[in-house]
Amino acid sequence: MAQDDPVVSAQWLQQHLGQPDIKVKNLSSTSVYSVLGVGCFMVHATREQGSMARVPDGIVDRTTDLPHMLPSEEAFAAGVSALGIKNTDKVIVYDGKGFFSAPRVWWMFRVLGHSEVWVLDGGLPQWRASGFNLGNNCPDDIVLKSKAANSAVETAYSGELANGATFQTEFQPQLFWTLEKVKGNVAAQAHQLVDARAKGRFDGVAPEPREGVRSGHIPGTTCLPFPEMFDSAPMLLPANELSKKFEQAGISLDHPIAVTCGSGVTACIVALGLYRIGKHDVPVYDGSWTEWEAQPDSDYPKITSTAS
């Protein structure tokens, strides 16, 4: 379990599940390692994932209409504390697709000060392919913790103090970009901005999945679709192969990089790949194209299929 690598293998996790200090099912206060299952960032975990706690979709910013934006420090601390996670825990996240939503949760923990977090390489598909056992029940305490986490976030956003917070945050601004930060970079070009969406959406010739959002991209951005980060298993590519992917896309690894996508989820997959090759402070534009596209064209320029 290396600090310079953002993933752990299914074999590593299997070997460590039997240790007394690893509490997978209940995430008790005595656990040293916590395993969080996120079947899909916006969808409830399946029953076969139910024996492992999950990050509820309610741990998001509730003051905006933008999808699944990073919550406030107070809300994140309240929600994660309700799940039974402490700052002393090592957190491993996985999802049902292999690589989709888990890297987003990995980034959320890191941007809010918890560096002891890893992604299960290949997620649930790789766990299955390795022949390891799956949970076959959904204990009541998992459901209760999920409800408690959502309630704690609601309490935090209502201005009330959440009780019994066990998790303390420490915001890491170098990992987080806002709309205005991106606007400044469009002019200054201090960072290379990499877009993780599919090429068609980036070029403005394929539709965006969200109604009313035009396809296209932020000026000066380079497209590197997130599936380029892993193989067909899917497993995160070795560092040398990842480096080649960026170089082939015209992205210099010797200069600063920031990442974006449609709504801040798949950009975190590209950030995961960059972390493996040694770039640990890559910021994610949280609002991404969904936020940028909604702004006035005169102040926030866009390159679309209809742009002149």
pLDDT at 212 over 90: yes
Backbone dihedral region for residue 164 (phi beyond 0: left; psi -120 to 50: alpha; all else: beta): left
91 phi and psi angles, rounded to 5 deg: -110, 130
Instruction: For residue 197, give every residue at least 6 positions away whose Cβ sits within 8 Å of its Cβ, in sequence order, or none.
Output: 217, 223, 225, 226, 261, 262, 266, 289
For 47, 117, 135, the CA distances from 86, given in Å and listed in that order, are 25, 12, 24
Query: For the chain, what is the mean pLDDT?
Result: 84
- Tell me which H or E stretch contains 126: helix 123-129
CA angle centred on 57, ends 51 and 63, rounded to 5°: 155
Which of 3-7, 19-23, 142-146 comes out lowest in average pLDDT?
Answer: 19-23
Give the pLDDT score at 29.
34
Give the pLDDT score at 163.
67
pLDDT at 15 over 70: yes
Backbone dihedral region for residue 131 (phi beyond 0: left; psi -120 to 50: alpha; all else: beta): left
Q: Per-residue pLDDT tens for 127-158?
A: 889 998 776 545 556 677 778 888 888 888 88
Burial degree of 124 (CB within 10 A; 0-12, 13-18, 19+): buried
Q: Per-residue pLDDT tens for 49-61?
A: 333 445 556 788 8
Instruction: For residue 184, give every residue at least 6 positions away whose Cβ sits within 8 Å of its Cβ, in sequence order, or none.
Output: none
pLDDT at 203 over 70: yes
Give the pLDDT score at 51.
34
Q: Per-residue pLDDT tens for 224-262?
A: 999 999 999 999 999 999 999 999 999 999 999 999 999
Q: Which of 138, 223, 261, 268 is catalytic?
A: 261
Rounded to an integer, what distance in angstroms lies between the CA atom of residue 223 and that of residue 198? 8
pLDDT at 45 over 60: no
Instruction: For residue 299, give every residue at least 6 positions away whose Cβ sits within 8 Å of its Cβ, in sequence order, or none.
Output: 183
Task: Please tell me what DSSP assigns to residue 204.
Answer: T
Give the pLDDT score at 1.
65
Give the pLDDT score at 304.
92
Rounded to an integer, what distance in angstroms lies between the CA atom of residue 10 and that of residue 31? 19
Q: Give 220's pLDDT tier (boundaries 50, 70, 90).
A: very high
Q: Which comes out higher in pLDDT, residue 222 or 155? A: 222
Give the pLDDT score at 12.
87
pLDDT at 25 over 70: no
Nearest to 183 by CA among 107, 67, 285: 285
Active site residue 223: no
pLDDT at 275 over 90: yes
Q: Which comes out higher in pLDDT, residue 117 or 300? A: 300
Q: Which comes out higher in pLDDT, residue 94 or 121? A: 121
* Residue ranges of domains in the chain, CATH in brackets: 7-157 (3.40.250.10), 173-293 (3.40.250.10)
**C-beta neighbour count of 133 within 10 angstroms:** 10
Nearest to 107 by CA among 177, 190, 166, 20: 177
